[in-house]
Amino acid sequence: MRIDLFVTPQEIPLFYTKGRRVVVVDILRACTSLCFALQSGVEQVIPVDSVEGAKQLQATLDRATALLAGEQDGAQVAGFDLGNSPGEFQSAELAGKTVLYALLSGPPLLTRSMEAVEKVLLSFVNMAPMVRYLTEKGDSELTVICGGYDGRFAMEDVVAAGMLIDLMGKGESELLNDGARAAWILYLAHRRDLSAMIRESAAGRALLEQGL
């Protein structure tokens, strides 16, 4: 399996993901929150790329079951039902609901048209099932896209991607691009204390400063 990793979406060449399975990694906090939402029984998550787009879509749905979620500059969007904290998505009351998830602070990883065969979410909380799923698929090529932080390299995303590569047994493969190989090496350096790595990352420090 060839694995190509991009540390930010901006690195991806035009049409590069066409026909490929894509792993999206955004640890702090989109992918982690969405994993908990699905675990809580959310019927579906619909990604949108603007506040107005989310509100317009909600107007066409049942207001009782269609919830608005999203953050801007680390805070819940005014008038939204949910922010972007994983803790907000761990509630039995979300079962059967539709979440309109506005991605506002970072690159539109989920809403941009990348013509991929499939886009899947990766976080530390769903690492084991994702390793099994991707191994079973047995693709000859896999693309991993890290969300980054303010358009730049994000340590937590790259280390999580490196963990995926390691657990799939592909760390020493010759079919890794430089990004994938670097991610694997970084994971090996931090695997004994992933919590410390997250706290010390730029995104982690920003969240701690906000009391999150």
Judge if 121 and 204 occupy the same domain. Answer: yes
Last residue of a domain, one of 102, 127, 148: 102
Judge if 86 and 154 occupy the same domain. Answer: no
Last residue of a domain, one of 84, 102, 120: 102
Percent of the chain with pLDDT over 90: 80
Number of domains the chain is built from: 2
Judge if 166 and 66 occupy the same domain. Answer: no
Judge if 133 and 190 occupy the same domain. Answer: yes
Judge if 118 and 14 occupy the same domain. Answer: yes
Which domain does 146 fall in, by range? 2-26+109-209
pLDDT(107) > 80: no
> According to the model, what pLDDT value does residue 150 have?
86
> According to the model, what pLDDT value does residue 105 have?
57
> According to the model, what pLDDT value does residue 191 have?
98
Q: Per-residue pLDDT averaged across 31-49, rounded? A: 94
- Checking 187-190 for CB contacts under 8 A at 24+ apart, the result is 187/159, 187/160, 187/161, 187/162, 187/163, 188/162, 190/159
Tell me what the pLDDT averaged over the chain comes to: 92
Judge if 67 and 159 occupy the same domain. Answer: no
Judge if 39 and 140 occupy the same domain. Answer: no
- pTM score of the predicted model: 0.91
Q: CB within 8 A of 110, min separation 6: which ones?
A: 24, 30, 47, 101, 103, 119
The CATH number given to whatever domain includes residue 161 is 3.90.1560.10
